[in-house]
A and B are shown apart, each in its own frame.
Chain A
Amino acid sequence: MKNNAPQHTAVGLEQEIALLKTINRNVNDALQKAIMFGDFNLHLSDTKESSLDTILDIAMKRSAQLIRFTDGGFFLVDETSADFVIKSVRPNDARNVLVAEVEHLIKMKLFHWVLKRKKPVFFKSSHGKKQLLLHVLATTTRVRGMFICYLDEEYQKIDDHRLTLFSLVMYNCANAVQLYELHKWNRGVTQKLEENVQSLAQSQGELESHRSKLEGLVAVRTESLAASNIKLQQEINERRQAEVALAEAQKGLEQRVRQRTRELEQAQSQLMIHEKLASVGQLATGIAHELYNPLNFIRTNMACLEEYLVDFVTILRLYDNLAENCLRQALLPELTQGIASQKQRIKYDNISEETLKIFKENSNGFERINEVVNILRNFTSAGFHDQIDHFDLNLAIGETLMLSRNITEHGITIETDLADLPPLSGQSVLIKQALLNVLINSIQAINSRLHETEGQITIRTFADSRHVGCVIEDNGPGIPEQEQIRIFDPFFTTHEPGSGKGLGLSTTYDIIVNKHGGKISCVCPPQGGTIITLLLPLAKPPQGGRDD
């Protein structure tokens, strides 16, 4: 046994190897077949209607390679109606027969049963003469259809591996159909999507063009708006500038009108003053001339009378001697007694004395009348000829005081403190007017306050190497500080025009500063009162400095 065994074993091994080799070959063949039958060689990208037919055609051919059948066909589930529709039939005239068989199966309530079996199912045909082979076309998830055919061989002779391969073909066919359907559906969807996308793209394009059109329009509008905006802004700016300029011009104009009005008022009041003075001057000159003649002969006569009187007195002394001699010698007693009593009655002793006094007083009176008439004439008439003369400021002050005596009210004392002054060159008449204005101002200032103390005006003159000056001080209320700088302002007035409140200090300023190159200042000490100082240069004034 033991010897046989290895021999026997070797033979067995050889047989077993051969068997295994056969099996291996068979398995390889089967696998190759399976691979071959399973391959439907589908190109999913090519999913035309014909491709379904191709699938079914392939399935039909592969099935025919496995199983011998005469009539065969596919019933596929219509995706929209869910009915079974016959599709691929071989040969073509088998259609009706196969439909009838299916209807029979449905009628026999076997069709449904077949669908649930995922294996080949054999039936006798409806007329019983043939053998039917049915196989569902199902994927793992759904039923796609059914294969049906009349067998051309005994179903008992079909071995299992043929049936397995057949099932594989069916399964793959179902998958291919499903794939096809899915792809078809997918394609439809894609197409729709593409259409939608296209239409969207189109509408987007339209929108785009519309938008670009609109944008263009908007751009154009914006541009024109911007342009008109700029223009508008420019116009606004120009208008604003014009308005500003106008306002300024108006302001300037108003100011100029105001200034001009003031100047005109000033000029008018100056003119009125001048006219007044001129007419007063004419009148005064006329009066002066008329006064001069009678004054002249009265004065001359008085002088003669004085001389006569001296002569009379000389004679009288002689008579007196005569009378005394007669009295001593008792001659003509009646006559001498008469003379004596008459002398006593008329207070003869101081007659001659008194008479001389009369002449002296009269002479003094004549001097004063003369002075007044002179001032009247000089003050008013001579001033309008821009006459430059040499004058003494002290005399000018004296004449001014003489003239202002009537406007100096009671309760105002004017004191003078006049130094020896060198003569000045200028328009004395105007200087007198300037002095008068200052004086009137001071008098008004004193009168404007309550009569607490006696009004007092002090006039002092002085001279240095270059100037002759005059200080006029009053004890009036003074001038508020903010007005002090302005009182000489040519256009400044605290009085209403034409209110008759004096001539104003602007005239004084004009005369002293402008016409004579002098200086004028105003100081108001804290205890009250106003000090006005006039300074006149000793050199010839720059204006009207023609030679005498």
Chain B
Amino acid sequence: MIDFLPTILFVDDEKSTLNSMCRFLRREPCRMLFAESGMDALAILAEGKVDILVTDLRMPEMTGLELLEIVSNRFSRILRLVVSATMEKRERDQVLEKVAVYEFISKPLNPEEFREIRRMAISIVPAGE
């Protein structure tokens, strides 16, 4: 049991955001992976070790939504979370029309809220694949 640690993949084109998240989750019982683009993320996902995907929506080249669509098709068991600065209802609806998302987290992160979500997300990841 102790051996099992869920793996979270963070995707954001902003390196500092990734760093801050890494620090924020430093002591959580999880493994963290980071990708600065959708393509990088897909490469990591291909290795098949990711349990939770946390992605930004507005990114150059591949958008968060496009990434989410691929993930929901190819890696449907991965828990999907969205972190975005554009948390308009309309945009949220656009996402939800196409893919199922566990939770939306709006930027800038409210640390307390994020902690809560982080805990929840980790706890529901099925232990032992």
Q: Which residues of A contact B (CB under 8 A)?
A: 285, 288-289, 292-304, 307, 366, 370, 377-378, 382, 385, 387, 389
The 6 nearest A-B residue pairs measured at CB: A292-B85, A300-B20, A303-B111, A297-B20, A304-B23, A296-B108
Q: Which residues of B contact A (CB under 8 A)?
A: 14, 16-17, 19-21, 23-24, 26-27, 58, 85-86, 88-90, 107-109, 111, 114
Q: Identify the closest chain A residue to B84 (Cβ).
A: A292
Contacts of A370 in B (CB 8 A): 108
Contacts of A382 in B (CB 8 A): 88, 90
CB pair B21–A300 under 8 Å, yes or no, is yes
Knowing A297-B14, A387-B90 are in contact, say whether A303-B107 is a contact too (CB < 8 A): no
Contacts beyond the supplied A296-B109, A300-B20, A382-B88: 11 A-B pairs with Cβ under 8 Å: A288-B85, A289-B58, A293-B14, A294-B16, A296-B85, A299-B108, A300-B108, A300-B114, A304-B20, A304-B26, A385-B90
Docked CA distance A304–B17 (Å) = 12
Knowing A303-B111, A370-B108 are in contact, say whether A297-B88 is a contact too (CB < 8 A): no
Contacts of A302 in B (CB 8 A): 111
CB pair A295–B108 under 8 Å, yes or no, is yes
Docked CA distance A295–B85 (Å) = 10
Contacts between the two chains (Cβ within 8 Å), count = 68
Q: What is the predominant secondary structure among interface residues of chain A facing chain B?
A: helix
Contacts of A288 in B (CB 8 A): 85
Docked CA distance A295–B107 (Å) = 8
CB pair B89–A297 under 8 Å, yes or no, is no
CB pair B23–A300 under 8 Å, yes or no, is yes
What are 25 A-B contacts defined by CB distance under 8 Å? A285-B86, A289-B58, A289-B85, A289-B86, A292-B107, A292-B108, A293-B17, A295-B107, A295-B108, A297-B16, A297-B17, A299-B111, A300-B20, A300-B109, A301-B23, A302-B111, A303-B24, A303-B109, A303-B111, A304-B23, A304-B26, A307-B24, A377-B88, A382-B88, A385-B90
Q: Shortest distance in angstroms between A82's beta carbon and chain B's nearest beta carbon?
A: 148
Docked CA distance A301–B58 (Å) = 21
Docked CA distance A387–B92 (Å) = 14
Docked CA distance A197–B63 (Å) = 132
CB pair B89–A296 under 8 Å, yes or no, is no
The listed residue (A296, A303, A377, A387) touching B17 by CB distance below 8 A is A296
Docked CA distance A309–B111 (Å) = 16
Q: Shortest distance in angstroms between B17's beta carbon and chain A's nearest beta carbon?
A: 5
Docked CA distance A292–B87 (Å) = 11
Docked CA distance A292–B109 (Å) = 9
Docked CA distance A298–B21 (Å) = 10
CB pair A301–B20 under 8 Å, yes or no, is yes
